[in-house]
Structure 1
């Protein structure tokens, strides 16, 4: 949000009034024409009132969301919570926000007005201390909504903005800001021309061609005319992107005989100089929403065939990106792959929407959704992964390799969401109709189903069978190593600690040899669990913290909660019962959205149950509940710091088993 603040000019009366409205009303909507500055105003207001919201301010960018079914997914993704349940996303949000004092900003609700209206009403009814700030070109039209129409900038502020963006000082603007209707985006676009033209020449250019248009449409249209033919064509083609994109994507999607690859960089630079393209962090670019819409209009004028061709090229590029991410996930670049995939989330959604709306593209959609399993599972996007996989599977029933891959990926996601029955159906079909690789994946995930339902007698041979199939097929990747960790986990849960330790040592060696960190975190967790069960608290604490550090890097909230629950129990066994309850409260803040706790498994819940029993006994019910509430309130970082203070682990072995 600080970047928006840094470039913000004026609007002092508006800032004061919107802050006042947020104090009076639980739902405030900023309306106004495109480019008027609704989003910037919302962000700066949010910063000014942040202290009033102890549970935080969350910005949800809806500009790149077109599918109403993804609205709740997008809000869930913006919040630090785990979606590990068969309940709807809306129910998850209600459960999470129910007792929080938080400001939720729904930015760019223009194409999702009905959905935002329903969601806002539902959340505000369930969460009495929640405030919602919306930016949209139209009102949500719900009870209790306060509207604030963002109007043109005051003349003095508009001139200041023009001067700042042009890098020069003028006492008067010759009426330019008035001609541009005081719209900030229009002023910023016009400021670019002051490097070459006088104010009078700019006004004359606008009036000669666009006299009947409003300020923003006039300046965008004039900017379009001033572009070279190549820049205009690239502008239209860039409208197929959603959110940010990089130069490599532009070259792959937009270059052809009309725009040769060697000209792309110069054309992009030209659009940046004209402020059509905005340079983002690193070497990424973005079309502002209003500018993108203008480019989209011109792309449609080029014909349906050209529009389809560009959208298909966009899909093909992001399918290749997903395939590469899946392959490279097993290796030392996992953090970079996570960051790259998250930065392309909007474009991946757009590619999936294209695939699942065109009959001939559904198989590519299945492969795209399934290839992103590492992102859905390992990086905190289980709910959205299920959305895409289920949609694709419902559209194409042919026994193809793409369907088989989507079946095991869908089964994997469903298991982690607690929908074991549905997962078993998907995995059974995959096992029956898939190729050898898919069958091995299905057997592996059937082992997971047995593990999560505490059927270790079935889980162990299923894992061993899957690992044998992987070896026979010559497959070595993150899933193979995870299968070994899951086997070690099943062995530990049945008390076979020596065998489990041997498996974990093997996995750690393989992870370190390949630079694999995500699976390593789970190997650390299993080892920490075994050390706790054997009363070796110091080593259990060290390994659980090492696991937690990795899981938080990848936003793996399932792994994070498992680690924190185990750390809480280790802390309790060290005699720090208040710190243990504090950690449980922090975990509950992340995990409050679940249906059955921790998959409904007795063994996965053993640390939580044992810790609660010990802490309640030591603190009493009132003391335990108070510490638990404090943990929910302060959050994970503070809970970890507070709970570690004063903890001393004995050098001996403690009887830790419940």
Structure 2
């Protein structure tokens, strides 16, 4: 016979269940322990009982062990498995070891009972005289608590004793655990009963569950949290959903795990709600379930629970609601309008109640687990879970108070939004705290005909606030919503213009065009023909000015028709005439340099149109209009091959916009101007200016979420300057953001990607070079890759590797043959590299190339130094080659400075090689120098 010391109480329980031929998983569910723990006990029993396998162990289960083991827990057998809650089980287990009365508190449906049962079963070994469970749901009279406990213990009333005394006498000095479940409705009876029991029975521990604290001095409270919600879909909430869904129709596919995590988050991790939602999974699927969450009380009904309170979320809430005093029920209804956490002063403002009354009422609701409480630096914040909030809204509607409560909430939201518009150091944090309430108030007001004016005002304020908060997708949506709510077409047109500008910032060319045309239609409806002309002209201009933002640019003839309509409507209005002039410069001559481009002999006409547009815009006194016209003039100078005139115009535009308003239209101009300034500075060899402006773009808050756009110019600058460290760092942000955005096909990203690939090639990282070349293939091709930036970056890499003949071949076309693609920022780089490649390849035309290049690049410090170095190499003048190193250093191009040392050869080459290595580059060009 096996002795007591050999087999523990828990092992005896496992042995008994093995004898019933239960699996390890079934044993774990029955005993509320993990499968791994069951396996450990089975292994121990095989060793202690000296049997070979599980079959023999089951046979031994019929042999009695010694009779001293702990009494089996008298607990209800759960019908479903217990999922997760390991931290909670550990914490609650530790509490009942240290304290004699612990209350697990939480709202209905959070999982208090199941947690208490799991903890009680696991603690049976610490309570050898028994674990007892008492369900107080059927008890409505506080005076009957002792009777319920006595019934669970099997204790009858003794002569001359009350039932509470009989229970105390029965438990005496036993080491027992008493689980009192659902104490909330009989708190007034539970508290005195426990006080007498614990005083009389010093070794008894009580674990209670309740929606409210028992409010006794010796009580230790454990707030039961919702199930964990992991951002990656790996959480107790998701595990519970998957388990329950599998039991009613098969587990959801693994690919829907994130969707299920989102559903669980919408349900605030409430166990009952998740179980009920999982039960609807087979019939509703992911889409139906998500849609149904808008009315959770209807969706989360009809569960399989035997307990009527838990057959639906509404039933669970009805139970809690019935326990409230009338004034607390009213307060619960009133605070249900809040979506975000709220404070006492806010509730007092919205409800018109005295702060003292609100404090007491919110405290009582929190005690009943109907509100969560969080202490913050700003004060105590309260929040109702979503199901409770929806329940309160139902109660508001049923009591006829909904309109009044919503109206108070709307007034508060308007006041908050107005106050946020004034700014302040912490305004973003303040906005984030109330944003959900603003959205909820707008959703309600927008459906109330009598609240249209308030709804428009709130939509406009929310559009402006979300724009400043850089939530530009929502900003566009809110401006469009404001336009739909506007009282007149003039106001609607103004909101549509704002929405169009935001769409432009989002790179949504089709949206931008649609909204501009809608603004024109609204202006015409209002009789504002000049405004309509401006909108039509701007819509035409933007198709060329921002062609890279379109998936499909409107056909040229449609755009010309818009210009014709705008011209007819403009009349003598200065702003309209300026807008039309800009459209003519952009569309009729393509002054912005899109793929079509003006014919070479039309360049003077392009400049004339652009200068007229600048002049007319300047007369209006509108800096944004003038800046847009200067953008056209910048493009015109570029097509003329006037590199320095192009850069000067771009700088003029930057100066003009120094005080530009932080509006959608103003931000559009600033970002576009910074891009132009960066690129034209690169074209003129002003690397310091290019770094400054590209850094402003990279750090601009509106580009924070679109890192591939933010770092686009920074990568171009770093590549041409030969700054390997900066390019490698920025390229990671670029690639990650581009992939997060869905890897959009945008040909304007080509130069940045090609430059990044080149830098990795210069560093000798062939894998990274291939990766970025593949990305270049995916961002979209353009003639510039073959005839503009492509030859420049390819030639720099080929020359670094000592492949001068191949570089010369890549730069074979004369600049006049590819003038459209090298006049933007690439002309000086193209001709300087072409001259160097001709010299190093030993071409007979090298001298002619040098002469032509010298005239073209005069005034560009980087290109001049490259041409001077090529001439010195042709002449065999090492001292002049070395002199170019200092010129490159002064221009901010350390890579080329190191290359000059390498090309000088002899004793200077090792110094140049060391500098290249210090900068992170390979030593490909050193091999070329040695060959010389």
TM-score (norm 2): 0.39
Q: Specify every segment of 5 or more residues in structure 1 that has no aligned partner in the other structure, as ranges.
A: 1-9, 19-31, 51-57, 59-97, 113-133, 147-210, 472-479, 632-647
Deviation at 1:246, TM superposition (A): 4.7
Q: Which residue does the alignment assign to 2:816?
A: none
**Of residues 711, 717, 722 in structure 2, which corresponds to 1:570?**
717
Moved more, 34-43 or 398-407: 34-43
Select the residue among 277, 286, 300 that pairs with 2:371: 277
Matched residue, 2:461: 371
Change (3 A) 1:380 1:509: closer
Report deviation, 1:491. Answer: 5.9
CA distance in 2, matches of 1:467, 1:11: 79
Say which SS state the counterpart of residue 426 (structure 2) adopts: helix
Gaps of 5+ in 2: 1-31, 35-81, 88-106, 113-223, 239-254, 287-306, 549-581, 587-591, 593-609, 639-645, 777-884, 896-932
Q: Aligned in 2, Cα 1:398/1:225: closer, same or farther, shift over 3 Å?
A: closer
- Measure, in 2, the Cα distance between the counterparts of 1:568 and 1:289: 46
1:399 to 484, 488, 501: 488
Give the structure 2 partner of residue 541 of structure 1: 691
Shift of 1:350: 1.5
1:501, distance to aligned residue in structure 2 (A): 2.6
Map of 1:452 onto structure 2: 546
* Contact 1:441 1:466 survives alignment (8 Å): no
Contact kept in structure 2, 1:367 and 1:402, CA below 8 Å? no
Question: Which of these residues, 577, 580, 583, is aligned with residue 727 of structure 2?
Answer: 580
2:765 paired with 1:611 = no
Q: What SS does structure 2 have at the residue aligned with 1:285?
A: strand
Task: Tell me if structure 1 keeps the 8 A contact 2:442–2:455.
Answer: yes
Give the whole-Å Cα distance in 2 for the aligned partners of 1:323 and 1:519: 27
Q: CA deviation at 1:425?
A: 1.2
Larger radius of gyration: 2
Contact 2:520 2:535 in 1 (8 A): yes
Asked if 1:298 corresponds to 2:388, the answer is no
Out of 409, 429, 433, the residue aligned to residue 521 of structure 2 is: 429
Whether the 8 Å CA contact 1:532–1:540 is kept in 2: the answer is: yes
Q: CA deviation at 1:594?
A: 5.7
Higher RCO, Cα 8 Å, sep 6+: 1
Cα distance in 1 between the residues matched to 2:683 and 2:399: 67
Match of 2:227 among 6, 19, 41: 41
Match of 2:443 in 1: 353
| Residues 628, 534 of structure 1: alpha-carbon distance in 2 compared, 3 angstrom cutoff | same
Partner of 1:69: none
Give the match's secondary structure for 1:357: coil
Residues 493, 518 of structure 2: 8 Å contact kept: no
In 1, Cα distance between the equivalents of 2:686 and 2:260?
44
Q: Which residue of 1 aligns with 2:654?
A: 504
Q: Distance in 1 between matches of 2:365 and 2:538?
A: 49
The counterpart of 2:768, out of the listed 620, 623, 626, is: 623
Q: Do 2:691 and 2:714's aligned partners in 1 also have CA atoms closer than 8 Å?
A: yes
Question: Aligned match of 1:235 in 313, 320, 332?
Answer: 332
Select 1:308's aligned residue among 369, 393, 403. 403
Measured after TM superposition, the shift of residue 241 of structure 1 is 1.7
Deviation at 1:307? 0.3
The CA distance in 1 between the partners of 2:282 and 2:773, in whole Å, is: 36
1:377-426 CA-to-partner distances (Å, cap 9, x unmatched) read 45454444445555665x66863455234322332233332214312312
Distance 2:33 2:716 in 1: 52
Change (3 A) 1:370 1:247: same
- Is structure 2 residue 705 aligned with structure 1 residue 557? yes
Number of residues of Structure 1 aligned to a counterpart in Structure 2: 455
Check if 1:343 corresponds to 2:433: yes
After TM superposition, the score normalised by the length of structure 1 is 0.53
Q: 1:466 to 1:561 in 2, by over 3 A?
A: farther
Local SS of the residue matching 2:501: helix
> Could you say if the C-alpha distance between residues 590 and 288 of structure 1 is closer, same or farther in structure 2, counting changes exceeding 3 Å?
same
Aligned partners of 2:715 and 2:33: how far apart in 1?
48
Per-residue displacement from partner, 1:158-178 (whole Å, max 9, x unpaired)?
A: xxxxxxxxxxxxxxxxxxxxx
Listed one character per residue, the Cα deviations across residues 281-308 of structure 1 (whole Å, up to 9, x for unaligned) are 54443212243234223322321xx202
Give the root-mean-square deviation of aligned CA atoms.
Answer: 5.6
In the alignment, is residue 106 of structure 1 matched against residue 251 of structure 2? no
Indicate if the aligned counterparts of 2:438 and 2:462 stay in contact, CA closer than 8 A: no
**Pair 1:315–1:136, CA change in 2 (3 A):** farther
CA contact (8 A) 1:272 1:278 kept: yes
CA contact (8 A) 2:371 2:384 kept: yes
SS at match of 2:383: strand
